[in-house]
């Protein structure tokens, strides 16, 4: 076995057995079942990062231990499990500090990672566009700059991707850190340029009056599957978290309206998305925020669908997309028991308003992206939303519509990475 001070041996590609650890601080509302669901999500994250979960440990504490996050007894228990399963890594459901990570690695003898690191690994492996890759690299470097990372991710070894694999002595780390800072600066500058281009494109798109619809929702809810079913495209759909990172847009022809709308598939949301990553992806999500209509896709079979919906609503609020009309799409109806399925194909529910304010009514439709049921009703609702929007802007036109080519309706600079999420620049098309 690797001595504690050396770089722990990297597992061979085909196996990376992981022990999952969650600490219940007694805050989960519906104790037990809910907490288990969060570990289910960690398991799916681990699998999406190429690890195989082999055991779960749940600890109960009032507060995290300063040195080890869990108590020393629990740490011993985890170590026994690591040995019994010949595990290669231990994954924590909560964010652990750099010091806790170091201490844990010393005690357990294998690399330790937390949820944030896992999400970053997945994002790094999945990003496809040049901009997406830069955004992820930036978020990763900012995260790595604060810790000695001993875990050389499974995905990274597969893809030979970007990133730092630390581990060596302090001098090397100091050197790495300086290089990291340099790299961060360069990427920020490049990103600014790309973002300026993007906002010019967005402005052009906003001028041509195609009705824009964005699919949003918790990761794995079925956005890409629904996107493919609607436009008969092939967006990458898989039982993995964050299968989609870059926005894909296609034209969707709606027979009932005799017109086309543009439909965009977007990155999924997840609870406690690392803050840096939220900032990095704001530009991508901004496309969702600029839509005329959001289809909020929900995994109706998830035991924690309420929490997932609230998480999505809170991110939407953060990027200024709360006021955009929504259709709530309860997907995966085929997975429900007969008696759990709704009697009517459509009803109305109340969703939170802007800034958590007064609720707003939204149509809810029940579909299965897999077997295609309910898609007609969904198309009808899109048409209705489009017509009601057209009626609204016709009324607005009678008042003070600026000349379409005034060119001063909003400012490129304000849409750059540092833009304030609450600034008016996030609502460029608002009358």
Ligand X SMILES: Nc1nc2c(ncn2[C@@H]2O[C@H](COP(=O)(O)OP(=O)(O)OP(=O)(O)O)[C@@H](O)[C@H]2O)c(=O)[nH]1
Interface positions with ligand X (CB under 6 A): 217, 219-225, 237-244, 268, 331-332, 334-335, 368-370
Identify which of residues 96 and 241 has a Cβ nearer to Mg ion in the complex. 241
Identify which of residues 167 and 217 has a Cβ nearer to ligand X in the complex. 217
* Chosen from ligand X, Mg ion, none, partner binding at 334 (C-beta under 5 to 8 Å by type): ligand X
* Chosen from Mg ion, ligand X, none, partner binding at 89 (C-beta under 5 to 8 Å by type): none
Beta strands 52-60 and 112-114 are unpaired
Q: Are 364 and 326 in contact, with CB atoms under 8 Å apart?
A: no
CB of 284 to ligand X, least distance (A): 12
Q: What is d(CA 172, CA 178) in angstroms, rounded to the nearest whole number?
A: 10
Identify which of residues 139 and 378 has a Cβ nearer to ligand X in the complex. 378
Identify which of residues 184 and 305 has a Cβ nearer to Mg ion in the complex. 305
Q: What is d(CA 246, CA 194) in angstroms, rounded to the nearest whole number?
A: 14
Q: What is d(CA 197, CA 210) in angstroms, rounded to the nearest whole number?
A: 20
* Chosen from ligand X, Mg ion, none, partner binding at 135 (C-beta under 5 to 8 Å by type): none
CB of 287 to ligand X, least distance (A): 15
* Chosen from ligand X, Mg ion, none, partner binding at 238 (C-beta under 5 to 8 Å by type): ligand X
CB of 265 to ligand X, least distance (A): 7
* Chosen from ligand X, Mg ion, none, partner binding at 180 (C-beta under 5 to 8 Å by type): none
CB of 221 to ligand X, least distance (A): 4
CB of 268 to Mg ion, least distance (A): 6
- CB contact set of 268 (below 8 Å; sequence gap of 6+): 217, 218, 219, 220, 221, 223, 241, 242, 243, 244
* Chosen from Mg ion, ligand X, none, partner binding at 331 (C-beta under 5 to 8 Å by type): ligand X
Q: Which helix (H) or strand (E) covers residue 224, if one does?
A: helix 223-231
DSSP letters spanning 145-213: TTS------HHHHHHT-S-----S-HHHHHHHHHHHHHHHHHHHHHHHHHHHHHHHHHHHHHHS---EE
Identify which of residues 24 and 246 has a Cβ nearer to ligand X in the complex. 246
Identify which of residues 113 and 369 has a Cβ nearer to ligand X in the complex. 369
- Interface residues with Mg ion (CB under 5 A)? 223-224, 243-244
Instruction: State residue 239 phi and psi, 5-degree precision.
Output: -80, 65
Identify which of residues 88 and 364 has a Cβ nearer to ligand X in the complex. 364
Neighbours of 312 (CB within 10 A): 25
Residues in the chain: 431
* Chosen from ligand X, Mg ion, none, partner binding at 257 (C-beta under 5 to 8 Å by type): none
CB of 332 to ligand X, least distance (A): 4
Q: Is residue 30 classed as helix, strand or coil in its secondary structure?
A: coil
Instruction: State residue 408 phi and psi, 5-degree precision.
Output: -120, 20
- Rounded to 10°, the helix 33-48/115-126 angle is 40
Q: Is residue 219 classed as helix, strand or coil in its secondary structure?
A: coil
* Chosen from Mg ion, ligand X, none, partner binding at 221 (C-beta under 5 to 8 Å by type): ligand X
CB of 222 to ligand X, least distance (A): 3
Closest residue to ligand X, based on beta-carbon distance: 268
CB of 242 to ligand X, least distance (A): 5
Closest residue to Mg ion, based on beta-carbon distance: 244
Sheet strands (E) in 43-151: 52-60, 89-92, 112-114
Q: What is d(CA 291, CA 214) in angstroms, rounded to the nearest whole number?
A: 6
* Chosen from ligand X, Mg ion, none, partner binding at 420 (C-beta under 5 to 8 Å by type): none
CB of 311 to ligand X, least distance (A): 13
Q: Which helix (H) or strand (E) covers residue 78, if one does?
A: helix 72-85
Identify which of residues 220 and 381 has a Cβ nearer to ligand X in the complex. 220
Identify which of residues 40 and 411 has a Cβ nearer to ligand X in the complex. 40
Q: What is d(CA 213, CA 273) in angstroms, rounded to the nearest whole number?
A: 24
């Amino acid at each position: 076995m690797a001595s504690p001070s050396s770089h722990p041996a990297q597992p061979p590609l085909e196996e990376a057995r992981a022990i999952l650890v969650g600490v219940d601080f007694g805050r989960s509302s519906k104790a037990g079942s809910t907490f288990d669901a969060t570990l289910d999500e960690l398991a799916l994250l681990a699998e999406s990062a190429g690890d195989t979960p082999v055991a779960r440990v749940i600890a109960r504490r009032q507060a995290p231990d300063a040195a080890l996050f869990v108590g020393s007894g629990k740490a011993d228990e985890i170590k026994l499990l690591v040995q019994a399963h010949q595990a290669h890594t231990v994954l924590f459901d909560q964010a652990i500090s750099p010091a806790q990570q170091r201490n844990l690695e010393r005690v357990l003898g294998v690399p330790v990672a937390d949820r944030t690191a896992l999400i970053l690994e997945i994002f790094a492996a999945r990003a496809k566009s040049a901009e997406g890759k830069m955004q992820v690299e930036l978020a990763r470097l900012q995260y790595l700059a604060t810790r000695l990372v001993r875990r050389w991710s499974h995905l990274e070894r597969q893809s030979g991707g970007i990133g730092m694999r630390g581990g060596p002595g302090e001098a090397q780390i100091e050197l790495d850190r300086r290089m990291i800072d340099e790299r961060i600066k360069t990427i920020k500058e490049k990103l600014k340029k790309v973002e300026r281009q993007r906002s010019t494109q967005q402005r052009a798109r906003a001028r041509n009056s195609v009705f824009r619809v964005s699919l949003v929702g918790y990761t794995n809810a079925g956005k890409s599957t629904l996107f493919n079913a609607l436009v008969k495209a092939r967006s990458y759909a898989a039982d993995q978290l964050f299968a989609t990172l870059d926005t894909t847009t296609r034209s969707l022809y709606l027979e009932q309206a005799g017109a086309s709308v543009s439909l965009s598939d977007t990155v999924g949301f997840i609870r406690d998305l690392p803050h840096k990553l939220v900032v990095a992806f704001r530009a991508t999500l901004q496309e969702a925020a600029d839509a005329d209509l959001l289809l909020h896709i929900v995994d109706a079979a998830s035991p924690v669908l309420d929490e997932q919906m609230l998480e999505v609503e809170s991110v939407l609020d953060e990027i200024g997309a709360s006021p955009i009309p929504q259709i709530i799409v309860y997907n995966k109806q085929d997975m429900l028991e007969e008696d759990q399925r709704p009697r009517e194909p459509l009803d109305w529910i109340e969703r939170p308003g802007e800034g958590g304010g007064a609720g707003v009514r939204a149509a809810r439709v029940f579909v299965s992206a897999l077997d295609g049921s309910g898609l007609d009703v969904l198309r009808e609702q899109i048409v209705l939303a489009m017509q009601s929007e057209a009626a609204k802007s016709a009324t607005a036109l009678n008042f003070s519509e600026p000349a379409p080519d005034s060119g001063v309706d909003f400012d490129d600079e304000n849409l750059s990475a540092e833009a304030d999420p609450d600034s008016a620049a996030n609502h460029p098309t608002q009358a």
